[in-house]
Amino acid sequence: MKSKVQTSCLLRAQGECKPVGPEPNSLAGSQKTAHIPKDGEKSENDVVPFMDVYNKSMCRTREMLVDIFQEYPDEIEHTYIPSCVVLMRCAGCCNDEALECVPTETKNVTMEVIQVKQRVSQHHFLLSFTEHRKCECRPKPEVKAKKENHCEPCSERRKRLFVQDPLTCKCSCKFTQLDCKSRRLELNERACRCDKPRR
């Protein structure tokens, strides 16, 4: 059976014939092929799944760049090379504005840096830094203080004259009637102080 591609003897003198038709490469070049992404390959517009976003945002230890002068603010006479170091520090979200990510376990790590003094001398120097090992979400200091001191003060000016029950917030005078009488004075219950007796 003859091939559908017509043939022509191009080199009759030598008795050789070559098939006449489009070159294989030219066919491939004229056709556009769709890009099929391989397994695990991500495109620029891929959406990061919620659990990946959530897990990466959790409160935990992470590698962070920390400025040396932030750790040693009194070292104003020296500069350091490098000027910052990589430390494991707590960071992340707590999903509650009243909480913050704080370390619950730390360790000290010593690092070798170059200490330069006013561009005159430089030498290798050892600095100690605090690294975080464990983290937790704990109440922020200002929130904790508000919870502990939820009572309004008995008096802004005369706090020392009052005693306040932290549970009921009830105010009572520090001095009693007996305290005042022992000093030949009378208790002023409104001002919570011992005054001279009225005549």
State the pTM of this model: 0.50
DSSP lists the bridge partners of residue 124 as 114
Kindly provide the residue ranges of all beta strands, DSSP E only, lying in 13-154, ordered along the sequence.
16-19, 60-67, 78-81, 84-91, 99-117, 121-139
119 with 169, same domain?
no
102 with 127, same domain?
yes
- Show the tokens assigned to 28: 């491939």
Over the stretch 40-57, which tens digit does the pLDDT of each residue have?
A: 666 678 999 999 999 999
82 with 124, same domain?
yes
Evaluate whether residue 22 is within a structural domain: no
65 with 97, same domain?
yes
Could you list the residue range(s) of the whole structural domain that residue 72 is in?
A: 50-143
57 with 118, same domain?
yes
119 with 155, same domain?
no
Mean pLDDT of 89-99: 93
Evaluate whether residue 124 is within a structural domain: yes
91 with 125, same domain?
yes
Over the stretch 136-164, which tens digit does the pLDDT of each residue have?
A: 999 988 766 555 566 777 776 666 777 77
Q: How far apart are CA 171 and CA 191, in angstroms?
A: 12
DSSP lists the bridge partners of residue 106 as 132
100 with 67, same domain?
yes
139 with 56, same domain?
yes
H-helix segments, 12-155: 24-30, 50-57, 68-71, 141-148
Evaluate whether residue 176 is within a structural domain: yes
Where residue 105 falls among pLDDT bands split at 50, 70, 90? very high
CATH label of the domain that carries residue 173 = 2.10.160.10
159 with 138, same domain?
no
Evaluate whether residue 40 is within a structural domain: no
